[in-house]
Amino acid sequence: MSLNLNSTARTFFFLIVLIAALLALVGIAASAEEQALQAVPSYANPITLEIEDTGNNPGLGQGMTENLVMSTPANLLVDDEGNTFITFRIGLVVETQEDSFIIELLDDAGAVKESLPYSIVSDNQADNTRDLQVQVPSVDAILRVSLVSIPMGREVVGFISFAPEGDAVEIPVAQEQEVDDTPISIYENTANEEVTGVAEEDRGPLLTFLAIAGSLIVLVGGVAAINALRKKNA
């Protein structure tokens, strides 16, 4: 007796294609590389060792920079296309003039090469901080950050580089310069607070769940096909 399994076979084939697609998505997610970093804030330009902030006060400027660029864990993400993103935390959000925060990439000589767009990952109003994500050429990028401070009534400038989490880092020491006695506002230093939620949302668990669900669908489809064969033979 001939069996007409065209409909069952098509359904089973569709389920096989679906699970293959889900597994491919899981593979793409797994190919993304993440690494824990630490942000290294510096009042002086790490390449030229010059102070670019008009306050020009090394004694107070480093603490100010550490309140601006938090000395806390950052997150490196290299996606499957090789694009490099770093997420890090800044402070003094309320004290910063709206839309005045600028991130610029330095070249090998320590000069500004280009301005970098960034996205806001999260606002942490409870501790007056914000998590930003910026695309950089590599983890070795050195960034110039600037903003207009409302209490100080002027632009302030600092720098940020990145190192593997846990590595000992050395803060660049500014070259001897004529010290400006202009006061620099001091804010409570929260640079050592633990950062939570700076990493990009992990897609792995969701895609793994979908892959498992797809596998169950294929299994159910296979059982249905076997039952259909048995009924036809009966």
The CATH number that applies at residue 129 is 2.60.40.1850
Whether 57 maps to a domain, the answer reads yes
State residue 59's pLDDT score: 85
Do residue 158 and residue 216 come from a single domain?
no
pTM of the model: 0.65
Higher pLDDT, 197 or 39: 39
Do residue 85 and residue 128 come from a single domain?
yes
**Which residues neighbour 48 within 8 Å (Cβ) at sequence distance 6 or greater?**
109, 110
Q: Domain containing 17: what range?
A: 6-29+204-233
Whole-number Å distance between alpha carbons of 224 and 191: 60
State residue 190's pLDDT score: 42
Q: How many domains does the chain have?
A: 2
Whether 196 maps to a domain, the answer reads no
State residue 106's pLDDT score: 98
Mean pLDDT of 16-29: 53
Do residue 91 and residue 50 come from a single domain?
yes
Higher pLDDT, 185 or 140: 140
Range of weakest confidence among 23-37, 61-75, 119-133, 185-199: 185-199
Higher pLDDT, 169 or 193: 169
Whether 122 maps to a domain, the answer reads yes
Do residue 49 and residue 134 come from a single domain?
yes
Q: Last residue of a domain, which of 149, 164, 179?
A: 164
Give the tens place of pLDDT for each residue, 179-233. 555 555 544 444 444 433 344 444 455 555 555 656 666 555 655 666 665 666 6
Mean pLDDT of 146-165: 95
Do residue 52 and residue 143 come from a single domain?
yes
Whether 186 maps to a domain, the answer reads no
Enter the tokens of residue 121.
């990952």
Q: Which of 35-39, 170-174, 184-188 has the highest mean pLDDT?
A: 35-39
Do residue 63 and residue 140 come from a single domain?
yes
Higher pLDDT, 56 or 21: 56
Do residue 102 and residue 142 come from a single domain?
yes
Do residue 123 and residue 67 come from a single domain?
yes
Backbone phi and psi for residue 20, each to the nearest 5 degrees, phi listed first: -65, -40
Whether 49 maps to a domain, the answer reads yes
Half-sphere exposure of residue 72: CA atoms within 13 angstroms, side-chain side = 24
Do residue 16 and residue 50 come from a single domain?
no
Whole-number Å distance between alpha carbons of 218 and 47: 58
Whether 105 maps to a domain, the answer reads yes
Mean of per-residue pLDDT scores for the chain: 78
State residue 192's pLDDT score: 41
Whether 178 maps to a domain, the answer reads no
Share of the chain above pLDDT 70, in %: 61
Do residue 114 and residue 228 come from a single domain?
no
**Angle CA 157–43–118, to nearest 5:** 50
Do residue 71 and residue 152 come from a single domain?
yes
Whole-number Å distance between alpha carbons of 142 and 106: 6
Whether 172 maps to a domain, the answer reads no
